[in-house]
């Protein structure tokens, strides 16, 4: 009933803002065009407001999951018309705020003291308001300027309702659509659910912020604010207040003389550094979460906030991803096909030659363009469409990475339309692979695992002794097994011989009986013949059994 209620509410919002007018009907199958033409939304006149504003308001009304979707779309100027992208950019930090009195109640409940006692100054007017949380500025009694990020009250219930509906739809897709099992829709929704729940935990976000801050502690690429742990709780986080230019304010960045090419390329470098060096990356890098320190215009530094969503990759995924990208750069389609099979992303029964030919068909027309004109998002879309024919399964652990990479590309091209993502990433990946297999990289790996090996060293003799005993027991068991098999074989041979003698004896005794009771013997046979035959049969039947018969 709850799912049905939520579905009806979504249909009501779609109808109110006439979102059906956004769908390109000419590309839809006939049944979908008929559904759109006969739907209840056709009874409502289209609002007179601009379409971008209608879409933004609809996403806000639908809730945080849909606002997140709009935030992602807002960075893709290559996929959206300018009016839609501009309007959706307002979703980054222009969501209606909740009551400041409620914010004060959450602070007092979390810290067991009134907000005006905890802070020397608390600004009731929100500094920013987003889909999941709201930010207020304040000052500590020690004098530091800080910001307080507070989770929206009741947001968890809204998310649970939306996720329940999405899971219901995902299970239907997995059960009734032949492509469903390959796409793992339920697993993808569950991963997204965990991601959103993590984002609601301010202590987890604070820990993520501290980790990325430590990873780039001595770097001039990116800065993350300091976390004040004494004031951080599950529903609120207090951190250093930073000052920078919003990365979406391109006009101000240009006026300050910022090198936009360097800024865009540094964004790509930050992403690949987090993925391949740290295996811990900020996975929500939309414009509302990124600022720029323009104090050195020729070497601008990023400032990142909102680390509620992070992604990680294991060593195997890192290696396969890097080698796949490098193979694409070199147009080594055979290697790309082999890596997909080796990694298990496509079935091992896939014919390499056919998969290679399909990948080449997709990639060659794209690579004939200048690299700066190639959209990585479009490239991935075409590649996945091709791989689908070979039953490529969706890799849930890579979904977050793909989404983040698309965000980075969209943001980079918003800053510098000539951005060549491939040229920026290629040398980084080659350097990473060289370091990974070079002697220094191997030594670093040994150094990393040496404490674990040394810790296990006292147990090695005992482990060896137990292994040798197991080998001895196995050898003894093998000897016993071989003996038992030999005995069984000998018994079977003896039984076959006994059966053979029984049949021979029976036949001879029957022949003797027939000779004694039947017609007269031929003259060539002596009169004692029947008795000799009977005696032979009796001897076969009752003779003592010999061991080697």
* Residues tagged active-site: 284
Q: Which residues contact 272 (CB under 8 A, 6 or more apart)?
A: 425, 428, 429, 432
Q: Which residues contact 185 (CB under 8 A, 6 or more apart)?
A: 169, 170, 171, 173, 174
The answer to whether 511 touches 456, Cβ cutoff 8 Å, is: no
Sheet holding 301-304, edge to edge: 222-223, 301-304, 290-293, 245-246
Distance of CA 395 to the CA centre of its chain: 5
Determine phi and psi for 128, rounding to 5 degrees. -160, 155
Residue identified by tokens 């009986």 is 513
C-alpha to C-alpha distances, 437 to 127, 441, 442, 529, nearest whole angstrom: 48, 6, 6, 92
The answer to whether 311 touches 281, Cβ cutoff 8 Å, is: yes
| Structure tokens, 84 | 């839609």
> Distance (Å, rounded) from C-alpha 347 to C-alpha 175?
21
Closest C-alpha to 512, from 549, 539, 479:
539
């Amino acid at each position: 009933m709850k799912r049905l209620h939520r579905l009806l509410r979504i249909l009501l919002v779609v109808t109110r803002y006439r979102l059906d007018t956004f769908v390109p009907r000419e590309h839809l199958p006939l049944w979908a065009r008929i559904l759109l033409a006969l739907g209840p939304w056709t009874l409502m006149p289209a609002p007179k407001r601009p379409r971008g504003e209608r879409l933004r308001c609809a996403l806000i009304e639908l809730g945080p999951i849909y606002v997140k979707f709009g935030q992602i779309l807002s960075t893709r100027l290559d996929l959206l018309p300018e009016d839609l992208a501009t309007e959706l950019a307002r979703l980054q930090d222009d969501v209606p705020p909740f009551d400041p009195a409620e914010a004060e109640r959450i602070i007092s409940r979390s810290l067991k003291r009134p907000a005006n006692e905890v802070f020397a100054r608390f600004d009731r007017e929100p500094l920013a308001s987003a889909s999941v949380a709201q930010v207020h500025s304040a000052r500590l009694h020690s004098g530091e300027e800080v910001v307080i990020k507070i989770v929206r009250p009741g947001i968890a219930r809204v998310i649970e309702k939306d996720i329940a509906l999405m899971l219901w739809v995902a299970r239907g897709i997995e059960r009734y659509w032949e492509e469903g099992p390959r796409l793992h829709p339920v697993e993808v929704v569950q991963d997204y659910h965990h991601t959103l729940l993590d984002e609601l935990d301010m202590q987890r976000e604070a820990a993520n912020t501290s980790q990325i801050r430590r990873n780039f502690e001595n770097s001039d690429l990116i800065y993350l604010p300091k976390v004040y742990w004494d004031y951080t709780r599950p529903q609120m986080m207090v951190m250093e207040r930073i000052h920078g230019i919003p990365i979406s304010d391109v006009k101000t960045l240009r006026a300050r003389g910022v090198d936009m090419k360097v800024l865009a390329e540094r964004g790509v470098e930050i992403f690949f550094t987090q993925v391949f060096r740290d295996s811990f990356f900020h996975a929500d890098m939309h414009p509302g979460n990124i600022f720029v320190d323009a104090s050195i215009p020729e070497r601008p530094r990023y400032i990142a906030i909102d680390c509620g969503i992070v992604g990680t990759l294991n060593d195997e995924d890192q290696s396969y991803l890097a080698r796949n990208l490098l193979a694409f750069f070199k147009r080594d389609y055979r290697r790309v096909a082999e890596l997909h099979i080796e990694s298990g992303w496509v079935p091992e029964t896939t014919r390499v030659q056919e998969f290679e030919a399909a990948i080449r068909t997709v990639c060659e027309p794209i690579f004939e363009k200048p690299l700066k004109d190639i959209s990585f998002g479009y490239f991935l879309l075409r590649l996945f469409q091709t791989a689908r024919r070979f039953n490529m399964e969706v890799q849930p652990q890579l979904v977050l990475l793909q989404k983040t990479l698309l965000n980075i590309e969209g943001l980079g091209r918003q800053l510098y339309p000539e951005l060549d993502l491939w040229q920026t990433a290629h040398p980084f990946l080659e350097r990473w692979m060289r370091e990974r297999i070079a002697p220094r990289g191997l030594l670093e790996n040994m150094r990393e695992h040496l404490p674990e090996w040394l810790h296990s060293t006292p147990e090695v003799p005992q482990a060896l002794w137990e292994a040798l005993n197991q080998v001895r027991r196995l050898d003894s068991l093998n000897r016993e097994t071989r003996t038992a098999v030999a005995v069984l074989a000998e018994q079977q041979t003896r039984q076959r011989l006994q059966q053979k003698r029984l049949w021979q004896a029976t036949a001879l005794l029957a022949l003797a009986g027939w000779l004694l009771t039947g017609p007269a013997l031929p003259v060539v046979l002596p009169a004692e013949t029947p008795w000799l035959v009977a005696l032979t049969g009796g001897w076969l039947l009752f003779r003592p059994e010999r061991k080697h018969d």
